[in-house]
Structure 1
Amino acid sequence: MIELWFDPDPNDQLQLIWVLDQFHAQPDMLAKLKLRLVGFSLLTMDPAWRGWNEVPLANIRPVDIETASMCWQAYRATTPEACFDVVHRDLSAFPLLRPALLDLLRELPWSESGLGATEMRLLELVAAGFLGTSALFYLRGFRQGGVFNDMEIGRLLEGLAHGPRPAIAGLDDGLRVIEPENARARLAAFQRSRLSVTEFGKTVLAHREDFTDHNPIDRWWGGTRLTNDNLWRWNPALSRT
């Protein structure tokens, strides 16, 4: 028997559906697969915990492989439309997948501000007095989301601070020239930074300005390349439907 253990975090759920998509080519392995429905972070669990066998264990059926493959292909598509469609399908075999996909969709630029959910949360935290970067990197509970790792959070801060019209001031200018591979120098630069929200950032927080109207956008969301000319947006009202 092969047991699959994946955290609820969006990137872990993406790994799960990617792994299951590979079993399309190995149907003889399906009978050996079981899925543990893990509702907690495996990384933070005490190794001495004795409740591992109490985590629900589910069979994986051929229809579940089809569902996982459908979701993986939707995320890899050249627009987010297919991914938005699958969150309204029956995903009951993977109870942690729909929340994860919604978290990912919320990282598209919002219709009200032009920022994704984590970018907006970072701006809110800086406005609330988080002047250093350590809490933004390491206190995930404050960020209220698990889509991005620490290195990616750094890139989001650079995007907010180093564009033509920044929403954040005080990020060390050395980050503009330090090579991405030089993790030690980048960390030192982040630690030197003392952040504040610009006047423009305050208008973005208040939904009176759109960040993307004043700054270049060029990044990937799944298989979708987001640019100012190809800017797919998230409408917060849709997550409540």
Structure 2
Amino acid sequence: MTTNILHVLNGDAARHPLEASGAPGDFTIWADPLHDGPVPGGLDDDQLRQVRARHLADGVGEHEADVLRTLRDWDAALARWETYDEVVFWFEHDLFDQLILIRHLDWLSRIAPSARRFSLICIGEHPDVPEFSGLGRLSPAQMLALLPARQPLTVTQVGAGSTAWAAFRADDPTVLERWIQAQDPTVLPFLPVALTRHLDELPGLDDGLSRSERQALRALAAGAFTFSDIFRATQRMEARVFMGDLSFRRILRSLASGVTPLLESADDRFGLTAAGHEMLAGRADNVGLNGIDRWMGGVHLTTHRLWRWDGKVSQF
């Protein structure tokens, strides 16, 4: 087995046990939460990095220049792929990972469309971890045992990932819906469900809330008051946990800062406002109360450019 390998992982939680396992090669991460904020089409890689850095730094106490440097470092590590005999992508089944996977597959379609030297480990469960929620839950020995099962990426997978990436970055979300409906689910088996979960973040048909916003309000109504309690409660509502705490903080901040706030906060404790109770009772609409100005991938949602999603039947 070659030892000149670059392992590309979804974050430090997965990188650390793999490094500790004795697996041969070098290790890097690529961990931009692409489900959070703008990923518009029509931009080159450098322009997109700048858009992402501006969004990710906003409101979380980070300097945009520092975030941009991190994004450039991740891309620079990938750009050295030709110095390795093999590049192994390590991913999971959730939305966070699947979006990064199709981003990388689109990149491959431009720099190495044959995908030679590239392989994939992508799992949604593990026999020794009954409630599997990610590679970071595995021990070093469990991570190392996955390495021989990696599969070479195929031209078909690269093509499917590239078209999915274009659909995700389209300015009309129905493009992504059509991609999901048209695809062979065996090519990238976790992707259709993950992208459907992305569409669940569109304003709901009945209440104008995204699924994550709705779950946050329900967690509050059920008795969760601190940020950590609300975050954990909403994670338990997900079949495939994908959202990190910084993205979730943005959601709570938005719910608390509208013209008609749906929640109130003080000292990291939160509570529903009267409008929040009305929303959960089905007697109010968040877009009607607060308008909307939000990015989801390539879609810029405003009160004048709005799509609503019926999560019960997964359609517009």
Q: Is 1:168 aligned with 2:263?
A: yes
What SS is found at the alignment partner of 1:235? coil
| Aligned Cα root-mean-square deviation (Å) | 2.2
By percentage of residues, which structure has more strand? 2
Fraction of identical pairs, as percent: 30
* Counterpart Cα distance in 1 of 2:199 and 2:215: 15
Q: Is 1:18 aligned with 2:103?
A: yes
CA-CA distance at 1:95 after TM superposition: 1.1
State the match for 1:159 in structure 2.
254
| 1:76-95 correspondence runs (5 A) | 76-88=169-181, 89-95=183-189
| 1:94-173 correspondence runs (5 A) | 94-138=188-232, 141-144=235-238, 146-169=241-264, 171-172=265-266
* Counterpart Cα distance in 2 of 1:54 and 1:239: 36
* Counterpart Cα distance in 1 of 2:184 and 2:219: 36
The correspondence for 1:8, drawn from 88, 93, 112, is 93
Length, aligned pairs only: 220
CA-CA distance at 1:50 after TM superposition: 6.2
Gap regions ≥5 residues in structure 2: 1-85, 126-133
State TM-score, norm by structure 2: 0.64
Deviations 1:166-218 (A, max 9, x none): 1112x13xxxxxxxxxxxxxxxxxxx133222222122112221111010311
State the match for 1:62 in structure 2.
155
The correspondence for 2:271, drawn from 184, 188, 196, is 196
Query: For residues 159 and 19 of structure 1, do their structure 2 counterparts lie closer, same or farther at Cα, with a shift above 3 Å needed?
Result: same
* Counterpart Cα distance in 1 of 2:146 and 2:233: 30
In the TM superposition, structure 1's runs of 4+ consecutive aligned residues that sit over 6 Å from their partners are none
Query: For residues 140 and 163 of structure 1, do their structure 2 counterparts lie closer, same or farther at Cα, with a shift above 3 Å needed?
Result: closer
CA-CA distance at 1:51 after TM superposition: 6.4
AA paired with 2:158? I
